[in-house]
C-alpha cells in the first residue's frame, strides 16, 4: 500500500454533487502525470460556502455520492478525512496529515482554474504549496492570461511547484446541476446514473 514513490493525486471539492467535470479532471491528471491513484476528498465544513443560498448537503450525502461516482474505477478512491474532522477544515492541514500518514507518497493537488485563482486566499497557502505539487487544469480555449499570470505569481510568492494540466473545457458545474434539479430539468449525462439515482432517492436539491 505504501510502496515508496507512489504518486497520489488529491481531488478536493465540495462535490455537491460530484459530476463528470470532476471525473474527467481526475482522469486527465492520472493519465498525464502517471499517478497511481486519485483520492477524492469531499470537504468538511467550508467557511467559503457558508454564504451559499442553498445549504451545502450533508457530509454523509456528499461522501455517498462521491463513492458511487468512483466505484467502477480502481484507481479512484474516496477519503472521509475532511468530513470526519470537526470544525473548519483546511487544505494545508489535510495535506500535512496525509504526509504524516504516508511519508513515502508524493502528493499532487489537482485544481481547476477557479481553485488556482482562489488559493492564495486559502488558509496558510505557503504550507499548502510546500506539502504538494499542484496540477493546474488549464483550458487552452477558455482560460485567460490572468490564470497563467497567477500561476507564475504563486511560484514566485510561495515557491509553489505547479504543473500545467491541459484539459478540455467541460461546461458542467455543481451549481448548474442543483439549479436544473430545482427547476425539474434532466441532468442525465452530466453525472453518473448511480449518483442521479441517489439524488432522487434522497430528494436532494429539490429546494
Sites of contact with ligand ATP (CB under 6 A): 13-16, 21-22, 25, 111-112, 114-115, 137, 170, 172-175
Instruction: State the nearest-atom distance from the C-beta of 71 to ligand ATP, in Å.
Output: 19
**Residue 192 grid cell:** 453518473
Instruction: State the nearest-atom distance from the C-beta of 96 to ligand ATP, in Å.
Output: 19
Instruction: State the nearest-atom distance from the C-beta of 4 to ligand ATP, in Å.
Output: 28
**Residue 199 grid cell:** 439524488
CB nearer to ligand ATP: pick between 97 and 172: 172
What is the Cα–Cα distance from 19 to 66, expressed in whole angstroms? 9
Q: Give the residue closest to ligand ATP by C-beta.
A: 112
CB nearer to ligand ATP: pick between 105 and 174: 174
CB nearer to ligand ATP: pick between 137 and 151: 137
Amino acid at each position: 500500500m505504501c510502496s515508496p514513490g507512489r504518486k497520489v493525486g488529491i481531488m478536493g471539492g465540495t462535490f455537491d454533487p460530484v459530476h463528470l467535470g470532476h471525473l474527467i479532471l481526475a482522469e486527465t491528471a492520472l493519465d498525464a502525470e502517471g499517478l497511481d491513484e486519485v483520492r477524492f476528498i469531499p470537504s468538511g465544513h467550508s467557511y467559503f460556502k457558508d454564504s451559499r443560498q442553498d445549504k451545502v448537503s450533508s457530509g454523509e450525502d456528499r461522501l455517498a455520492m462521491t463513492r458511487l461516482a468512483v466505484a467502477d474505477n480502481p484507481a479512484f478512491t474516496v477519503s472521509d478525512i475532511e468530513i470526519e474532522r470537526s470544525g473548519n477544515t483546511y487544505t494545508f492541514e489535510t495535506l500535512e496529515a496525509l504526509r504524516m500518514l504516508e511519508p513515502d507518497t508524493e502528493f499532487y493537488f489537482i485544481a481547476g482554474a477557479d481553485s488556482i485563482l482562489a488559493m492564495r486566499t486559502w488558509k496558510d497557502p505557503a504550507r499548502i504549496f510546500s506539502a504538494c505539487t499542484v496540477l493546474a487544469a488549464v483550458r487552452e480555449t477558455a482560460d485567460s492570461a490572468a490564470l497563467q499570470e497567477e500561476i507564475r505569481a504563486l511560484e514566485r510568492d510561495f515557491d509553489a511547484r505547479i504543473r500545467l494540466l491541459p484539459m478540455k473545457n467541460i461546461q458542467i458545474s455543481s451549481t448548474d446541476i442543483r439549479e436544473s434539479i430545482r427547476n425539474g430539468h434532466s441532468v442525465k449525462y452530466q453525472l453518473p446514473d448511480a449518483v442521479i439515482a441517489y439524488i432522487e432517492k434522497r430528494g436532494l436539491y429539490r429546494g
